């Protein structure tokens, strides 16, 4: 049986307290969540049962979520990179990292800035790099911030869910579920995720030099049932990474499931 530590905190470069906990023992694995997720409901929760028997899984709340502070300085991608650096400092210099969705993009941004990681896994960074999907509105972040500022958090969440392809009936159903309150509780962080991803959701190929300096071994994961644009984006990311490799997970979607993902992670990290 594995145990989870009580909440711990690290201090980011701008003084923001970032909350995390650790489950299991062994080599450190840091999990970076995607939009609307926090350490109690997201990728970490899906992976911990399968990883914690032989890894120490560091699950943290990105700034503004869960028990982490929002920061007193204006949001910038650099602040979130600094938060990840602080968590990596607690995990140790040889940590493995997995990022999902916008969390995968945050990992890429950290790598582009020279942050040290042992090996990384990237689960479906939500880029749009060709014509197989319409570009996303580059003003999504601004529109979402306006909704949040007007107290319309539910509408901000709905806009995000519809943007990522959740059918209208699915959104209506979610509004009636207990999870809706939790999603609305972190709606103010959605503009942060848009700041990470929108530049590469415009239907244009990745710049030739975008990842050319990243030498860390990287496993790029994509669900076999994910749409064509997502598969194409992951193939482009893997091709752009000097030490990147692409792995298709048959039957999987954008939602990370431990049963399909953990064996692949173990194989990659043990190699």
Q: Which two tokens stand for residue 10?
A: 């690290």
State yes or no: pLDDT of 1 exceeds 90.
no
* Domain final residue pick, 169, 196, 223: 196
Q: How far is CA 80 from each of CA 16, 40, 216, 247, rounded to the nearest angstrom?
A: 10, 19, 20, 27
215 within a domain of the structure (yes/no):
yes
| Average pLDDT of the segment spanning 49-53 | 96
* Domain final residue pick, 196, 221, 240: 196
pLDDT at 214: 97
State yes or no: pLDDT of 45 exceeds 70.
yes
| Average pLDDT of the segment spanning 116-124 | 97
How much of the chain exceeds pLDDT 90, in percent? 96
3 within a domain of the structure (yes/no):
no
Q: Which domain holds residue 31?
A: 8-130+204-270
pLDDT at 271: 86
Supply the DSSP symbol for 177. Answer: S
With both helix axes pointing from N to C terminus, report the angle between 77-91 and 102-112 in degrees, rounded to the nearest 10. Answer: 80
Supply the DSSP symbol for 211. Answer: S
56/162 same-domain check: no
State yes or no: pLDDT of 38 exceeds 90.
yes
Chain-centre distance for alpha carbon 257:
14
* Domain final residue pick, 174, 196, 218: 196
263/188 same-domain check: no
Total domains in the fold of the chain:
2
State yes or no: pLDDT of 93 exceeds 90.
no
57/73 same-domain check: yes
171/244 same-domain check: no
14/113 same-domain check: yes
253/222 same-domain check: yes
| Average pLDDT of the segment spanning 160-187 | 94
| Average pLDDT of the segment spanning 6-23 | 97
| Average pLDDT of the segment spanning 84-93 | 96
91/23 same-domain check: yes
Work out the pLDDT band at 73, boundaries 50, 70, 90.
Answer: confident
């Amino acid at each position: 049986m594995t145990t989870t530590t009580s909440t711990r905190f690290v201090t980011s470069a701008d003084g923001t307290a970032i909350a995390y906990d650790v489950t299991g023992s062994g080599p450190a694995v840091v999990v970076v969540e995607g939009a609307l997720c926090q350490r109690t409901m997201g990728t970490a929760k899906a992976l911990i049962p399968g990883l914690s028997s032989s890894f120490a899984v560091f699950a943290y709340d990105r700034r503004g979520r869960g028990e982490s502070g929002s920061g007193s300085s204006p949001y910038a991608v650099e602040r979130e990179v600094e938060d990840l650096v602080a968590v990596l400092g607690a995990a140790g210099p040889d940590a493995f990292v997995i990022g999902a969705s916008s969390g995968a993009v945050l990992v890429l941004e950290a790598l582009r800035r020279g942050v040290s990681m042992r090996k990384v896994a990237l689960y479906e960074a939500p880029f749009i790099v060709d014509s197989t999907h319409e570009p996303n509105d580059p003003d999504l972040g601004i529109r979402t911030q306006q909704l949040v500022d007007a107290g319309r958090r539910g509408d901000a969440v709905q806009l995000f869910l519809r943007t990522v392809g959740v059918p209208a009936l699915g959104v209506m159903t979610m509004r009636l579920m207990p999870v809706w309150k939790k999603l609305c509780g972190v709606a103010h962080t959605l503009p942060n995720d848009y700041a990470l991803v929108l530049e590469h959701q415009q239907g244009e190929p990745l710049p030739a030099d975008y990842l050319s300096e990243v030498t860390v071994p990287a496993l790029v994961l994509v669900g076999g049932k994910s749409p064509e644009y997502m598969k194409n984006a992951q193939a482009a990311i893997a091709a752009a990474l000097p030490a990147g490799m692409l792995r298709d997970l048959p039957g999987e979607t954008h939602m990370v499931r431990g049963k399909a993902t953990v064996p692949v992670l173990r194989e990659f990290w043990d190699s």
